[in-house]
Amino acid sequence: MWIKSFADVIAENKEYLTELDSAIGDADHGINMNRGFQAVLAKLPAFANQDIGSIAKNVGMVLISTVGGASGPLYGTFFMQISKETAGKLELTLSDWVAALESAVNGVMLRGKANPGDKTMLDSLIPALNALKECNTRGTPLAEALDSSEKAAEQGMLSTIPWVAKKGRASYLGERSAGTQDPGATSSYFLLKVASQTWGNSE
């Protein structure tokens, strides 16, 4: 399952994410994300058999209530927006996932008041969404589309390294924020990588 696998990846990489955040933020991104997704895992059995929209809504609610800093509201919004597009669904087509991810990205943009190039999680999410849209237009098989999305997210994540942050705590550093990969873009890349691995292999 996507959520469980992502929680495992966050647990495995919490020190790495916190290390990235220590250079340009509050040094708590990995810790906060792990706390939130461990809380999700603890409550997952209670809603794991529900439809995708209900699962996403519950995940979002848990994250908002347990994750500190900016990550809780942003990731919580991400999953709450997904829930709106996947309500009542038990499986997703590529078109469904495009609609859900687009809603999630728009929600994060609105909540965080950030734009592409600001050195945030959006710099992974938006390239991934654009890749999915292109694949959907071409009628690309789901597994291939997910792979393209993952690769676009990775490139977006890496592109944040030389940039100067314009949002969040990192923006306070000005030019000193350049040279470090954004932790939010990194965790977002992990999210899409796990989606590709989970859903792409299930076809």
CB of 82 closer than 8 Å to CB of 103: yes
Distance CA 122, CA 107 (A): 11
Which own/partner contact pairs does 46-51 have at CB distance under 8 Å and 24+ positions apart?
Answer: 48/1, 51/86, 51/87, 51/88, 51/89, 51/90
Confidence (pLDDT) at 164: 67
DSSP string, 55-82: HHHHHHHHHHHH--TTHHHHHHHHHHHH
Domains of the chain: total:
1
- pTM of the predicted protein model: 0.91
What pLDDT is recorded for position 24? 63
Q: How far is CA 7 from CA 11, 41, 59, 116, in A?
A: 6, 7, 11, 26
Model pLDDT, residue 172: 46
Task: Write the Ramachandran bin of 97: left for phi over 0, alpha for psi from -120 to 50, otherwise beta.
Answer: alpha
| Per-residue pLDDT at 114 | 87
Across the 203 residues of the chain, what is the mean pLDDT of every consecutive 10-residue run? 95 94 78 96 94 97 89 95 97 96 97 88 97 97 96 96 65 60 95 93 57
Task: Annotate 73-141 with DSSP letters as a single string.
Answer: HHHHHHHHHHHHHHTT-SS--HHHHHHHHHHHHHHHHHHHT--TTSSSTHHHHHHHHHHHHHHHHHT--
Q: How far apart are the first and last CA of the chain?
A: 14
| Residues of the domain holding 176 | 2-200
Could you give the count of Cα atoms lying within 13 Å of 193 in the half-sphere of its Cβ?
Answer: 18
pLDDT of residue 156: 96
The whole-angstrom separation of Cα 44 and Cα 30 is 20
pLDDT of residue 26: 73
Retrieve residue 19's tokens: 């290390």
Q: What is the CATH number of the domain that holds 7?
A: 1.25.40.340
CA-nearest of 117, 114, 115 to 163 is 117
Whole-angstrom Cα distance, residue 176 to residue 192? 28
